[in-house]
């Protein structure tokens, strides 16, 4: 867990304004000002204007989250106030169940970027550990929401609970709203067809390789960001040079297979195709999963640069071919299929 914490903190170094020790909750909280140009140094209620607050993980910042944000923004207009999202990092399951693997739809930086694009006014990022997990819901409401931020309206999602053992359910929060005089909003869930939109469902679709369904629930095309590293350069021998990408260890990857993608580089955005898998035709008995992107009409050097790959469509499963020539022929078909799909995507 120490390695995870250190790595997470590195992501914050360029965003931290001030570290504030809060004796009432015995923890440190970081306030991040990447969502607006308004800087605030600590959780002082005078820094927030009639705040409309919600608390959540917001992994992926999907359609359901944007629905919540939309409700907050509507209320902020009525309040003549501002929207405030309080989120936790690392993800609580990383702390509470450290031996259980978890994959996230968004890294911390990606989440901040997505929230910024949603027009949220303030993001309060609280580092999560077992001490914070033990904090009672009523103590969190009083010491943080009321005393430190000055909550005027609190939006509680339909399945949202907070505090120790998730005791901060609707009834507990309703009683607190009466005690402290803030407005409690409890909107109905957002449904897409028969199911509510959730990060769990999106992860399942990605696991199944159903990228179009995942993209639909996200409200945008799923993406990964990573560093291009030197590989074995086998793609060059097939006339399909690839960028070998290393991503954050907790970032979820779609199912092994071949995808039509768009790739954002320092040279612009390019169409391409990407393979996630083990390269069974050329790398026998490999246990190492690779991410390799071939960019169309691209001849520049990408080594040691950061690129972002956006998944548009899944083409096929990865499979082992009888010969290199058969593999090359399939890659030609994959390129044609990708071009036909991507030519309709701006």
Q: What pLDDT digit, counting tens, does each position of 234-255 carry?
A: 766 677 999 999 999 999 999 9
The answer to whether residues 176 and 303 belong to one domain is no
Task: Determine contact, residues 43/21, Cβ cutoff 8 Å.
Answer: no
Which CATH number is 116's domain given? 3.40.50.620
Distance separating alpha carbons of residues 266 and 255, to the nearest angstrom = 27
Write down the pTM of the prediction: 0.85
Task: Determine contact, residues 241/302, Cβ cutoff 8 Å.
Answer: no
Taken in order 309, 315, 316, 318, the sign of the CA dihedral is negative
The answer to whether residues 166 and 270 belong to one domain is no
State the burial class of residue 266 (Cβ atoms within 10 Å of its Cβ: 0-12, 13-18, 19+): exposed
232 pLDDT more than 80: no
20 vs 135: which has the higher pLDDT:
135
127 pLDDT more than 90: no
* pLDDT at 160 (0 to 100): 75
Would residue 212 count as lying in a domain? no
* pLDDT at 114 (0 to 100): 93
Q: Where do the H-state alpha helices sit in 249-323?
A: none
Buried b (16+ CB within 10 A) or exposed e, 37-62: eeebeebeeebbbebbbbbbbbbbbb
Taken in order 85, 89, 91, 97, the sign of the CA dihedral is negative
State the burial class of residue 246 (Cβ atoms within 10 Å of its Cβ: 0-12, 13-18, 19+): exposed
* pLDDT at 79 (0 to 100): 95
The answer to whether residues 183 and 235 belong to one domain is no
Angle between helices 108-117 and 2-12 (to 10 degrees): 40
* pLDDT at 2 (0 to 100): 36
Q: Which residue has the tokens 């929230």?
A: 115
Q: Where do the H-state alpha helices sit in 185-323?
A: 199-208, 211-218, 234-237
The contacts of residue 203 (CB under 8 Å, 6+ apart) are: 103, 105, 252
Instruction: Tell me which residue range forms the domain holding 129.
Output: 7-192
Would residue 199 count as lying in a domain? no
Distance separating alpha carbons of residues 166 and 133, to the nearest angstrom = 9
7 vs 213: which has the higher pLDDT:
213
The answer to whether residues 31 and 162 belong to one domain is yes
The answer to whether residues 39 and 85 belong to one domain is yes
The answer to whether residues 169 and 276 belong to one domain is no
Q: Which residue has the tokens 């607006």?
A: 36
Would residue 203 count as lying in a domain? no
Would residue 210 count as lying in a domain? no
Would residue 205 count as lying in a domain? no
Q: How many domains does the chain have?
A: 2
* pLDDT at 1 (0 to 100): 36
Task: Determine contact, residues 182/146, Cβ cutoff 8 Å.
Answer: yes
What are the phi and psi torsion angles at 27 (to 5°)?
Answer: -135, 170
The answer to whether residues 117 and 259 belong to one domain is no
The answer to whether residues 118 and 171 belong to one domain is yes
Distance separating alpha carbons of residues 78 and 47, to the nearest angstrom = 19
- Determine which of 122-126, 198-202, 258-262, 300-304 has the lowest per-residue pLDDT on average: 122-126
Provide the pairing of β-strand 122-127 with 27-32: antiparallel
Distance separating alpha carbons of residues 181 and 192, to the nearest angstrom = 34
* pLDDT at 32 (0 to 100): 40
Q: Which residue has the tokens 């080594």?
A: 303
The answer to whether residues 292 and 332 belong to one domain is yes
The answer to whether residues 227 and 183 belong to one domain is no
162 vs 298: which has the higher pLDDT:
298
* pLDDT at 318 (0 to 100): 94
DSSP E strand boundaries for 66-199: 83-89, 122-127, 153-155, 183-185, 191-192, 195-196
The contacts of residue 11 (CB under 8 Å, 6+ apart) are: 107, 108, 109
* pLDDT at 25 (0 to 100): 28
What are the phi and psi torsion angles at 12 (to 5°)?
Answer: -95, -15
What residues form DSSP beta bridges with 246?
A: 227
What residues form DSSP beta bridges with 311?
A: 261
Would residue 315 count as lying in a domain? yes
Which CATH number is 257's domain given? 2.40.30.30
The answer to whether residues 21 and 162 belong to one domain is yes
Q: Which residue has the tokens 């909107």?
A: 187
């Amino acid at each position: 867990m120490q390695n995870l914490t250190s790595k997470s903190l590195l992501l914050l170094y360029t965003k931290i304004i001030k570290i504030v020790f809060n004796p009432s909750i015995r923890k440190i909280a970081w306030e991040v000002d990447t969502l607006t140009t308004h800087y605030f140094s600590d959780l002082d209620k005078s820094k927030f204007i009639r705040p409309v607050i919600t608390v959540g993980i917001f992994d992926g910042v999907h359609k359901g989250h944007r629905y919540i944000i939309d409700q907050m923004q509507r209320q902020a207009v009525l309040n003549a106030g501002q929207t405030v999202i309080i989120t936790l990092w690392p993800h609580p399951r990383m702390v509470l169940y450290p031996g259980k693997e978890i994959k996230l739809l968004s890294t911390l930086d990606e989440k901040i970027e997505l929230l910024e694009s949603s027009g949220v006014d303030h993001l309060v990022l609280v580092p999560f550990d077992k001490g914070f997990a033990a904090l009672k819901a009523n103590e969190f409401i009083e010491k943080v929401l009321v005393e430190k931020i000055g909550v005027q309206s609190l939006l509680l999602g339909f399945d949202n609970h907070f505090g120790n053992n998730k005791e901060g359910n609707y009834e507990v929060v309703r009683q607190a709203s009466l005690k402290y005089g803030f407005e409690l909003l409890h909107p109905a869930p957002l449904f897409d067809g028969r199911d509510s939109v959730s990060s769990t469902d999106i992860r399942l679709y990605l696991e199944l390789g159903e990228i179009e369904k995942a993209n639909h629930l996200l409200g945008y095309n799923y993406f990964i960001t990573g560093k291009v590293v030197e590989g074995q350069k086998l793609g060059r021998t097939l006339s399909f040079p690839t960028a070998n990408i290393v991503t954050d260890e907790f970032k979820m990857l779609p199912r092994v297979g071949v995808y039509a993608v768009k790739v954002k580089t320092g040279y612009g955005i390019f169409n391409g195709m990407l393979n996630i898998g083990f390269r069974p035709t050329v790398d026998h008995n490999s246990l190492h999963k690779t991410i390799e992107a071939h960019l169309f009409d691209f001849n520049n050097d990408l080594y040691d640069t950061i690129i972002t790959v956006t998944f548009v469509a899944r083409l096929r499963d990865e499979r082992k071919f009888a010969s290199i020539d058969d593999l090359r022929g399939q890659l030609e078909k994959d390129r044609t299929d990708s071009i036909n799909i991507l030519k309709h995507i701006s």
